Amino acid sequence: QQVTCEESGKNLSDIPTNFFQNVTKLSLKNNIITLKDSDKEILRSFINLTELYLNENMITVLYNNSFCNLTKLVILDISNNHISTVHKAAFAGLNQLSLLNLSYNMITQLDSDVFTSLKSLTVLNLQNNFLKPFHIKSPFQLIEIVLAGNPWTCSCDLLDLQLWLNAFSVTMANENNTTCTFPTTMENVSIKTAAIQPADCQIEKASLENTVTSTFAIKLKSRALLTALTPNNITGNNGTYA
């Protein structure tokens, strides 16, 4: 039996405590909630929640274990906030989560482990953030991913994500708008089909490693030369040059 609580658009800064414990669908959208520690404590008591809507609030950071007690949660919508940071274990405990909406936020980076606990995830919406290429460790049960509206740089950094998108039977929704922003030669090309050559990336990596090694060697030689030219090393016992 579904028990719904609708608390949208009420200018709430705190999650109320007067809900029934058996609530299954909770809508808190269009408020000014920041999801502070006291809010997370209140959420933990709603163990029967299957749907949680926190979209259009003032959340800026998703800390570890933000929803850890909501083991029955199937839908989590935290779109249209101001989220810039998502901690590694932010979604820990959400074993039943099927749909996660993080669209229209300010996320730039995602840890490769951030979604690993979401074994039941089928739809992941990351549309309209500021994402840089990231690595996804496992395919989950994912059916659809939305990556449109991010400023994708189609370079070697994107290769892992591109290979993942092509290796698993995941639909990239809105693919026509999921395109390279940089470099300009690849502008408007789908990130799924952009011509990033693995061989070129290996050459680039080897070149970078050689540069780092050479720089380190030059520093060592400079240090050795400097040591050799210190007064203790260039003068003998009588004060003349050794």
What is the pLDDT, as a whole number, of residue 150? 98
Q: Is the dihedral of CA 141, 146, 150, 153 positive or negative?
A: positive
126, 107 Cβ separation under 8 angstroms: yes
* Measured distance CA(96)–CA(178) in Å, rounded: 28
Joined together, the tokens standing for residue 193 give 């089909």
pLDDT(211) > 50: no
What's at 43, amino acid-wise? L
The tens digit of pLDDT for each residue in 34-78 reads 999 999 999 999 999 999 999 999 999 999 999 999 999 999 999
What is the pLDDT, as a whole number, of residue 136? 85
From residue 57, give the alpha-carbon distance in Å to each of 12, 188, 199.
9, 32, 45
What is the pLDDT, as a whole number, of residue 32? 98
The tens digit of pLDDT for each residue in 125-157 reads 999 999 999 988 765 789 999 999 999 999 999
173, 148 Cβ separation under 8 angstroms: yes
0.85 surpassed by pTM: no
From residue 235, give the alpha-carbon distance in Å to each of 76, 224, 238.
74, 17, 8
What's domain 4-196's architecture? Alpha-Beta Horseshoe (3.80)
**How many other β-carbons are positioned within 10 Å of the β-carbon of residue 121?**
24
Q: Give the domain ranges of the chain.
A: 4-196, 197-242
* Measured distance CA(186)–CA(149) in Å, rounded: 16
* Measured distance CA(150)–CA(181) in Å, rounded: 8
Percent of the chain beyond pLDDT 70? 82
pLDDT(186) > 60: yes
What is the pLDDT, as a whole number, of residue 238? 45
- Mean pLDDT in the chain? 86
The tens digit of pLDDT for each residue in 7-18 reads 999 999 999 988
Cis peptide before 183 (omega within 30 of 0): yes
What is the pLDDT, as a whole number, of residue 141? 85
Q: How confident is the model at residue 206 (pLDDT cuts 50, 70, 90)?
A: very low
